[in-house]
């Protein structure tokens, strides 16, 4: 729990609402990366995001990075949590933290555990399909943000983004490598030999999926906020779309679609329908999505391999083992079969 007396003093110094009134806190969620608390004090109702005490010192810089993106989204049409205030004085709560709007909504992970949907999306398939369209629309709106005008010129290194991907993630894999990954060489070579048809830099989330968004309560489907900006950068926004569509079933009307992913995708729009919706909202061409699909699966396989290699007795991380092999095989198979670039 956080020190509410120290927090109250800082809130007073920051001239935020509720001066002199007691601070109420509620732990919402957290993990190795960050913790979230609901804070109430008079008219102030917000969420506080802070690294846990045991997190590496670098997480403070990560929190500031998240804050920059959250603050930059204020005034844009991207559904997000409004930025309120940031504190870099570790004498207050021991770590850098920031305050953001507390969203009245639901997460596909926290309300359903990834299985099933709340009303009306549990039985109304037309309404359920709109959840996916809203998810794709959120990615499209994010890619339209004028990141330069929002003060994010130095957030990433957009120049040479695609030229760096294979070398960067190959070096990453070499540091954690404990086994051969069939398909890695083939997919890597294909990525080196291909590039997108065009590359328009933009703001990207880096881990865009159902797990990192919130929706408004009730129907119709309304995206309330894109959250968890640890991987946010200026790069290629279409990679967010490919990341979102990893493992999307070919036939969402088949019973298997209910268990094809960590959320129930039965009754959802087809992959092509979502890509087309993204194109209409974003204004970007999508004829080169095969390239992004290969990159997304190849990259995720490498990221998960790190978890598998340090799994020990952790059953959740051990489960990454076969997932990595399937993702890398899928990336290599797609690279071999696609007509893109031929």
Cβ–Cβ under 8 Å, residues 226 and 142: yes
One domain for residues 115 and 264:
yes
Q: How far apart are CA 72 and CA 77, in angstroms?
A: 11
Burial grade of 341 (CB within 10 A; 0-12, 13-18, 19 or more): middle
Asked if residue 231 and residue 197 are part of one domain, the reply reads yes
Q: What would the mean pLDDT of 58-76 be, rounded to a whole number?
A: 95
Q: Which residues contact 75 (CB under 8 A, 6 or more apart)?
A: none
**pLDDT of 115 strictly over 70:** no
Whether 299 shows a pLDDT value over 70: the answer reads yes
Among 20-34, 190-204, 326-340, whose mean pLDDT is lowest?
Answer: 20-34
**What's the whole-number average pLDDT of the chain?**
94
> Does the residue 342 lie in any domain?
no
Burial class (CB in 10 A: 0-12, 13-18, 19+), 180: exposed
CATH at residue 122:
3.90.1200.10
**Span 174-195, average pLDDT:** 94
Report whether pLDDT(67) > 90: yes
In a domain, 196, yes or no: yes
Note the pLDDT tens digit of each residue in 133-170: 999 999 999 999 999 999 999 998 999 999 999 999 99
Same domain, 95 and 133: no
The per-residue pLDDT for 117 is 93
Statement to judge: residues 90 and 111 lie in one domain = no
pLDDT of residue 75 exceeding 70: yes
Q: Where are the beta strands (DSSP E) in the chain?
A: 24-30, 35-41, 44-50, 83-87, 97-101, 105-106, 202-204, 213-216, 223-226, 233-235
What does the pLDDT read at residue 140? 98
Token pair listed for 61:
């810089």
pLDDT at 32 over 70: no
* Same domain assignment for residues 163 and 293: yes
Helices (H) and strands (E) in the chain, counts: 11, 10
Would residue 295 count as lying in a domain?
Answer: yes
Containing 143, the helix (H) or strand (E) segment is: helix 125-144
DSSP assignment letter at 82 = P
Per-residue pLDDT tens digits for 201-254: 999 999 999 999 999 999 999 999 999 999 999 999 999 999 999 999 999 999
Q: Among residues 85, 102, 119, which one ends one of the domains?
A: 102
Q: Are 104 and 38 in contact (CB under 8 A)?
A: no
Contact criterion met (CB below 8 Å) for 133 and 269: yes
For residue 31, the model assigns a pLDDT of 63
Determine, yes or no, domain membership for 318.
yes
Specify whether the backbone of 218 is left (phi greater than 0), alpha (psi in -120 to 50) or beta.
left
Q: Sorting pLDDT into bands at 50, 70 and 90, what band is 111?
A: low
Lowest mean pLDDT among 81-90, 297-306, 311-320, 326-335: 311-320
**What domain range includes position 31?**
4-102
- Assign 22 a pLDDT band (cuts: 50, 70, 90): very high
- What is the residue-wise DSSP string for 247-272? T--S-TTSGGGGGSSSS--TTPPPHH
Beta bridge partner(s), residue 226: 213
> Residue 53 is part of a domain; what is its CATH number?
3.30.200.20
Which residue, among 215, 26, 30, has the nearest Cα to 107 in the 3D structure?
215
Check: CB of residue 147 under 8 Å from CB of residue 72: yes
């Amino acid at each position: 729990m956080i020190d509410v007396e120290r927090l109250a003093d800082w809130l007073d110094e920051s001239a935020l609402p509720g001066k002199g009134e007691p601070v109420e806190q509620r732990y919402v969620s957290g993990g190795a990366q960050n913790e979230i608390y609901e804070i109430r004090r008079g008219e102030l109702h917000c969420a506080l995001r802070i690294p846990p005490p045991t997190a590496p010192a670098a997480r403070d810089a990560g929190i500031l990075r998240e804050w920059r993106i959250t603050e930059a989204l204020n005034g844009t049409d991207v559904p997000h949590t409004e930025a309120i205030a940031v504190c870099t004085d570790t004498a207050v709560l021991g770590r850098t933290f920031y305050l953001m709007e507390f969203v009245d909504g639901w997460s596909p992970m926290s309300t359903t555990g990834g299985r099933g949907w709340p009303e009306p999306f549990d039985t109304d398939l037309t309404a359920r399909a709109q959840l996916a369209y809203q998810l794709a629309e959120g990615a499209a709106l994010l890619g339209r943000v004028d990141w330069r005008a929002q003060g994010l010129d130095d957030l990433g290194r957009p120049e040479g983004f695609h030229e760096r991907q294979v070398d960067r993630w190959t070096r990453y894999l070499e540091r954690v490598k404990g086994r051969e990954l069939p398909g890695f060489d083939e997919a890597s070579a294909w990525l080196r030999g291909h590039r997108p048809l065009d590359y328009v830099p933009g703001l990207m989330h880096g881990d865009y999926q159902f797990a990192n968004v919130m929706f408004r309560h009730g129907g119709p489907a309304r995206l309330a906020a894109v959250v968890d900006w640890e991987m946010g950068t200026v790069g290629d926004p279409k990679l967010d779309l490919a990341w979102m569509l990893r493992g999307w079933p070919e036939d969402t009307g088949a019973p298997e679609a209910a268990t094809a992913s960590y959320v129930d995708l039965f009754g959802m729009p087809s992959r092509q329908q979502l890509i087309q919706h993204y194109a209409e909202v974003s204004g970007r061409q999508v004829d080169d999505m095969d390239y992004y699909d290969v990159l997304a699966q190849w990259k995720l396989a490498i990221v998960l391999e790190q978890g598998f290699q340090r799994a020990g007795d952790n059953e959740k991380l051990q489960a990454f083992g076969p997932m990595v092999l399937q993702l890398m095989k899928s990336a290599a198979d797609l690279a071999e079969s696609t007509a893109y670039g031929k």
